[in-house]
Amino acid sequence: MSFVSLTAALFLAAAVSASQFDDIDLPFDYYSLSCPTMESIVHKKMEEWVKKDYSLAPALMRLHFHDCFVRGCDGSILLDHEGSEKSAKASKTLRGFEVIDDIKAELEKACPKTVSCADILTAAARDATVAVGGPFWMVPYGRKDGTVSTAKEADQLVPMGHELVTDLLEFFQSKGLNVLDLVVLSGAHTIGRTTCESLQYRLYNYNGTRKADSRLDHLYLNYLGRKCRWASEYVDLDAVTPKKFDVQYYKNLQKGMGLLLTDQLLYTDPRTAPIVTALAAQPDVFENLFAASMVKLGNIQDYLTIDGEVRLNCARVNTPNY
């Protein structure tokens, strides 16, 4: 497929995804009567927190991803008890829980027992994206908070950055997402950071060779070697424009500067590489597609509505007769 035809196909995919917004199960006006100030409260709080700590924006986006990938977008990642998703190995670097708690406390004052923690996290992820220069999209509401949260499920399901593209595609498809969603949502790595622990094997002993991954650009490899002497150190996912929501992430993949293996493999796999190439040259298309894919992500529901609740405290399930 030529670059022009692929770009046209991406525009068509964006249009199709946008048209799907009308068919989703959750309504956009869910809180229009019960809590009309819900979105303004979330937006104001997000602005306050991101102004104090810019890194909370990508952290909240990541928190939303982790939540939706396990049991759907039900706020189960927020539950804080022994053996919960929050205590999983896959969750040990997650941040932003205090932001959700702060927003929840404010919403309980304005609209008691009304807004679910799952909806708060979904809206916060959208406003976090906007805060760093990303696109705005309308968020449908009405999610319920789950009552089950286990570390075992999180460690089994959440991608950790070393999976093959086929594994990721199968996982995304199991959640109702497709190859385009995989490449587009991976673009969230245009901002944020990760620990060096997640990539040291690529630097020093890739596939047991005692050498670095040959796909890494040599100058970038030298930089990472100096930066990641300790596993606890942090490194930006996008080394060029780490605080800007843009298509530099895809340009980095073309140069062998994908930090995580799962990122770099997107440019070597024939199913995903053409999409990377097209998005690298089409920032407007990327933003439109990102908004569409985030709506799809936020609509993942692996639970029955009757099984959920609206938590009073995002870290704990409600007590009987609350």
The residues assigned a catalytic role are 66
Give the integer Cα–Cα distance in Å for 99 and 92: 17
Q: Considering only CA atoms, which of 138, 136, 146, 94 is closest in space to residue 116?
A: 146
- On whether the CB atoms of residues 176 and 23 are closer than 8 A, the answer is no
- On whether the CB atoms of residues 258 and 162 are closer than 8 A, the answer is no
The structure tokens listed for 299 are 């609509």
- On whether the CB atoms of residues 267 and 253 are closer than 8 A, the answer is yes
Q: Considering only CA atoms, which of 205, 206, 280 is closest in space to residue 240?
A: 280
Give the integer Cα–Cα distance in Å for 277 and 164: 19
Phi, psi of 250 (to 5 degrees): -70, -35
Q: Considering only CA atoms, which of 50, 293, 104 is closest in space to residue 186?
A: 293
- The per-residue DSSP string of 4-18 comes to HHHHHHHHHHHHHHH
- On whether the CB atoms of residues 131 and 46 are closer than 8 A, the answer is yes
Dihedral sign of CA atoms 245, 197, 203, 224 in order: positive
Which residue pairs from 213-218 have beta carbons closer than 8 angstroms and sit at least 24 positions apart in sequence?
A: 213/261, 213/264, 215/256, 215/258, 215/264, 215/268, 216/256, 216/257, 216/264, 217/255, 217/256, 217/257
